Chain A
Amino acid sequence: MSIRGKIWKFGNDVDTDVIIPARYLNTSDPKELAHHCMEDADPDFTRKIRPGDVILAGKNFGCGSSREHAPIAIKGARVALVIAESFARIFYRNAFNIGLPILESAQAAAEIREGDDVEVDIETGVIVDHTTQKRYQAKPIPPFMRELLTAGGLVPYVRRQRQRAGGR
């Protein structure tokens, strides 16, 4: 799966309250959530981005609460991918579960600049910055997580497993 889009850059420790503030958690409608994505860090974020764009951040992206509303808001805003130096544990798990691609690369997180035009192959983890002509290799996605992504998230994965178990 290949992605091409513009980079929107954020810092370290972007927490889930910034990704989607709790005042909007009285709904779980992805469209509604997407509308407020990253609002407290950049009030115009959802107006500025284009479908297929990429969020780039430092360490510990998605720290804080377990709210799945966070990756859902990002996916709902039609951000195609998040690249970060590292991700907080629950966010990492949630992203795969709902089928939001994420990649870890400390070098890409440090060097790629806001507004750069990047092309990313999710399977191989190769990131090409067309603005600077630089290439980066993200950490490979663990095999089990890749299975989840291929299945389309945890729900289809569980459904498939249940069917298999039932068919035996």
Chain B
Amino acid sequence: MPMTMSEKILAAHCDRSHVKPGDLIEARLDFVFANDITAPMSIRVFKDAGGERVFDPQRVAMIPDHFVPNKDIPSAMQAKELRDFALAQKLPHYFEVGRMGIEHVLLPEQGLVLPGDVIIGADSHTCTYGALGAFATGVGSTDLGAALVTGKTWFRVPESMRFVYRGKRGAWIGGKDLILYTIGRIGVDGARYKAMEFTGPVIDRLPMSDRFTMSNMAIEAGAKVGLIAPDAITEAYVKSRAKRLYTFYRPDPDAAYEAVHEWDISGLEPQVACPHLPENVRGVSELRDIRIDQTVIGSCTNGRIEDLRIAASLLKGRKVAPHVRCIVIPGTPDVCRQALAEGLYQTFMDAEAVISTPSCGPCLGGYMGILAAGERAVSTTNRNFVGRMGHVQSEVYLASPAVAAASAVAGRIAHPDDVSSI
């Protein structure tokens, strides 16, 4: 019986030769984690459910990344709860400030989440690791707390949808544009409860960082997971990082998909999601008159070194427009080190951008870049809901690092070509 990627991975984790959409299964978990917002509740659930020792300390991570370095006293209390738990449980993968990065940039970078894994995280963007060929999905604190006890969780096997990208990827087109285009086409619930599989010649040549960006935003189409079949690019990424053994699962060629979308992306221009839903996607050239107050370059979607390189290439030798605040947030300490070594910090400083320590920061309206009423941001993050980055009357436009950097210079939403030709 042919199976999709999700079906294969899930079958292997419940010791069955075969599973099909709709089956309710209990799967073994290879890795589980929570952050400073979700962990405190998970820890309480863990204790309530009678947990004494986590199922396997090697397979658990606690990552304070949302409001850390602590933005206020209540956040400090939350971070402390997580730290105390990690110490008491002797968790090797607790990441203190200085070693901490945004969870979905950090865990793959550290080789803790791997191809073929089944992973749950108490954070919706856990689907990021689908880019490695892992069945990874976000859950709430209760599911996570229970999983800390048992090392297992239940799933309904999802139907799979296949997305095939063909054609020639243009100069400024990256994973962000491909996924925004996809969400624009199918809508914010276009893949609700489903597994998305991203494939085709464009994906075959897509670098790992762009793949992470695509899988990261599968949840913005309502999906449970967003998978990319592992290949030589995946192997090159995980080989030197992996802290455990891993397995490549590829879909069977005759597997059954609920839907197949096939798109030629030749000539696609950079994509922007307008307020207040990630599905309000337009080509950047339609939005050129929109004046902005802030740009944010970072997050679990676009906080990798490749993203910073693109932003720096556009900011080099230029200045952020006088009325704009350009906030750059490297995803992890390793990204910081690399950016420093490559001179990107100098480029950003010379352009009069500001560089933050790794954190979610303004992405969810936490801190370090909250918008006032009437303000507008171009952001490389993943959500532009009402009030997401601050005041309910502020606006967020989602775009790639190239568009965000170009917009910072232009002071309005800009095509990267508008700036690079100046």
Contact = CB atoms under 8 A, between A and B. Distances in A.
Nearest to B42: A68
A90 B38 CA distance: 13
B294 interface: no
A90 B392 CA distance: 24
B402 to A, nearest CB: 26
B140 interface: yes
B74 A27 contact: yes
B387 interface: yes
Interface in B26-48: 37-38, 40-41, 45, 48
Interface residues of A, number: 39
Nearest to A163: B50
Interface string A56-99: 00011001111111010000000000000010111001100110
A159 B50 contact: yes
A162 B192 contact: no
B138 interface: yes
A37 interface: no
Interface residues of B, dominant DSSP: loop
A52 B192 CA distance: 29
A153 B146 CA distance: 11
Contacts of B48: 155, 159
B123 interface: yes
A67 B38 contact: yes
Contacts of B45: 154-155
A72 to B, nearest CB: 8
Interface residues of B, number: 48
A125 interface: no
A28 interface: yes
Interface string B355-378: 000000000111000000000000
Contacts of A153: 142
Nearest to A144: B24
A158 to B, nearest CB: 5
Contact of A17 (B24, B139, B150, B385): B385
A26 B139 contact: no
A88 to B, nearest CB: 6
Given A66-B139, A68-B142, A162-B50, A15 B385 contact: yes
A22 B364 contact: yes
Contacts of B149: 158, 162
Interface centre among A40, A65, A89 (most CB of B within 10 A): A89
Given A26-B74, A144-B24, A162-B49, A93 B222 contact: no
A144 to B, nearest CB: 6
Interface in A1-53: 13, 15, 17-18, 21-23, 25-28, 40-41
Contact of A97 (B71, B140, B193, B222): B140
A21 B49 contact: no
B142 A22 contact: no
A17 B364 CA distance: 9
Contacts of B222: 60, 63, 88-89
Contacts of A71: 140
A152 to B, nearest CB: 11
Contacts of A67: 37-38, 140
Contact of B139 (A86, A93, A159): A93
A160 to B, nearest CB: 10
A68 B122 CA distance: 9
B348 to A, nearest CB: 26
A127 B72 CA distance: 45
Given A17-B387, A22-B365, A25-B37, A90 B74 contact: no
Given A15-B383, A159-B49, A162-B149, 5 more contacts: A66-B123, A154-B146, A155-B142, A158-B149, A159-B48
27 contacts: A17-B386, A17-B387, A17-B388, A18-B385, A21-B365, A22-B37, A22-B364, A25-B364, A26-B67, A26-B78, A41-B386, A65-B124, A65-B138, A66-B122, A67-B140, A68-B141, A88-B189, A89-B193, A90-B138, A90-B139, A93-B139, A97-B142, A153-B142, A154-B146, A155-B48, A158-B146, A158-B150
Interface of B: 24, 37-38, 40-41, 45, 48-50, 66-67, 71-72, 74-75, 78, 122-124, 126, 138-143, 145-146, 149-150, 154, 188-189, 192-193, 219, 222, 224, 277, 364-366, 383, 385-388, 392
Interface of A: 13, 15, 17-18, 21-23, 25-28, 40-41, 59-60, 63-69, 71, 86, 88-90, 93-94, 97-98, 142, 144, 153-155, 158-159, 162
